[in-house]
Amino acid sequence: MIDNPRILLIYTGGTIGMVKDYNTGALKAFNFDKLLKNIPELRLLDCDITTASFDTPIDSSNMNPDYWTQLCEIIEKGYNDFQGFVVLHGSDTMSYTGSALSFMLENLGKPVIFTGSQLPIGDLRTDAKENLITAVQLAALSKRGKPLIQEVCLYFEYKLYRANRTTKVSAEHFEAFDSPNYPPLVTSGVHLAINEEALLRPGRRPFKVHKNLIRDILVLKMHPGIPERMVCAMLEIPNVRGVLLETYGSGNTTTKPWFIESIKKTIKKGIPVINITQCISGSVQMGNYETSVALKKAGVIGGRDMTTEAALAKMMYLLGQQLGPKVFKSVFETSLRGELS
Ligand code: ASP
């Protein structure tokens, strides 16, 4: 008899496991055991589920790289013992954590599936049960004795996505996430429709965990009328190690000389500047319009069709690798974990 696949279910916090505080009316995290008692269906699945939890579950708005490292360490410790990992996480910053883990876990040969919910698991109309049960089922899938999914994913409202392609698009709808520039990996209906061609196939190199992330990154969102003194002050902040410029359309910004000069000055100081679009879908293509030619000439790096979440995580990870400027640029523009087309 073949053993049931072993799945490690990791609870970090989020709405899925929250209850209402009747004094304040606000939702707050509660004990993980109670969460499992609320889903007896988990015992009906053909897999052995072991659970782990953050000591103090958090609302994901408090997520940070220390917690990402904690999560990676739980996965690293259980890597050889489990066929897959399901991470329960608040939806607010799930795409950031999923993106970060995709870079931190190199040569991942097993599924790490993030999920959560818009309504707590105890709520009558909850979306938590389907999300959790299907996420576990997906983590347990295998083909020719190997896990079918070997990357960091996000499962929400009937769709499995590559996590570093996702972004939270709704604070209201059950369909809270989208992956505008990459198709879903699996669509869940009566059957699971698996898009095998879209799955990432890592090489055979050994699994490696990267924990050195650099946080000193400035995310600078362009808007019409952004004052010169503010942009210059932000770019002059001591110890900024990287800048993520959120631009218009296919990578355009104002062509005002003060702006272009301050970007050039930043790059000359050895600080990489990445161009990411504010658009929900599509790609940065510097040079398409006059309003991005100067950025290209100044040495700004094109983020192509990466989400802000993925670009930020990639920058944190690559700055931690201490690469020279040229290598940094070429590695940044290369797909490492399927994060860009
Ligand atoms: N504020 C919650 C969190 O991100 C929202 C959720 O779980 O969906 O932790």
| pLDDT classification of 302: cutoffs 50, 70, 90 | very high
Domain boundary among 186, 209, 232: 209
Same domain, residue pair 194 and 272 = no
Q: What is the pLDDT of residues 51-94, one digit of tens each?
A: 999 998 899 999 999 999 999 999 999 999 999 999 999 999 99
User: CA-CA distance, 107 to 205, in Å (whole number)?
Assistant: 6
pLDDT of 1 > 50? The answer is: no
* Dihedral sign of CA atoms 263, 269, 275, 276 in order: negative
Which of ligand 1's atoms lies nearest the C-alpha of 91? 8
User: CA-CA distance, 179 to 56, in Å (whole number)?
Assistant: 30
- Identify the residue whose C-alpha is closest to ligand 1 atom 3: 90
Which CATH number is 51's domain given?
A: 3.40.50.1170
- Ligand 1 site-directed mutation target among 18, 28, 54, 60, most atoms within 8 Å of CB: 60
User: CA-CA distance, 193 to 199, in Å (whole number)?
Assistant: 13
Which of ligand 1's atoms lies nearest the C-alpha of 60? 9
| pLDDT classification of 2: cutoffs 50, 70, 90 | low
Same domain, residue pair 54 and 153 = yes
311 CA to centre of ligand 1 in angstroms: 22
Within a 13 Å sphere around the CA of 147, how many CA atoms are in the beta-carbon half? 28
Beta bridge partners of 19: 28
Same domain, residue pair 56 and 197 = yes
Which CATH number is 270's domain given?
A: 3.40.50.40
117 CA to centre of ligand 1 in angstroms: 8
Same domain, residue pair 136 and 190 = yes
- Catalytic residue check, 115: no
- Annotated catalytic residue: which of 15, 166, 253, 254? 15
pLDDT of 194 > 60? The answer is: yes
201 CA to centre of ligand 1 in angstroms: 31
Q: Which of 86, 106, 103 is nearest to 154 (CA)?
A: 86
263 burial (CB, 10 Å; 0-12 / 13-18 / 19+) is buried
90 CA to centre of ligand 1 in angstroms: 4
Domain boundary among 154, 184, 209: 209
Q: What are all long-range contacts of 324-330, with beta carbons under 8 Å and residues at least 24 apart?
A: 325/270, 325/272, 328/272, 328/301, 329/272, 329/299, 329/301
As a residue count, the chain comes to 341
Q: What per-residue confidence (pLDDT) applies to 136?
A: 96
The total domain count for the chain is 2
* Dihedral sign of CA atoms 290, 292, 295, 297 in order: negative
Q: What per-residue confidence (pLDDT) applies to 202?
A: 77
Same domain, residue pair 205 and 221 = no
Q: What is the pLDDT of residues 242-296, one digit of tens each?
A: 999 999 999 999 999 999 999 999 999 999 999 999 999 999 998 888 778 889 9
Give the tokens for residue 92.
Answer: 């607010």
Name residue, tokens 């009747």.
22
Identify the domain containing residue 53 by its residue range: 6-209
Pocket of ligand 1 (CB under 6 A): 13-15, 59-61, 90-92, 116, 118
* 3-state helix vs strand vs coil in the chain, percent to 5: 30, 25, 45
* Dihedral sign of CA atoms 255, 259, 264, 267 in order: negative
Same domain, residue pair 171 and 241 = no
The verdict on pTM exceeding 0.75 is: yes
Structural domain contains residue 155:
yes
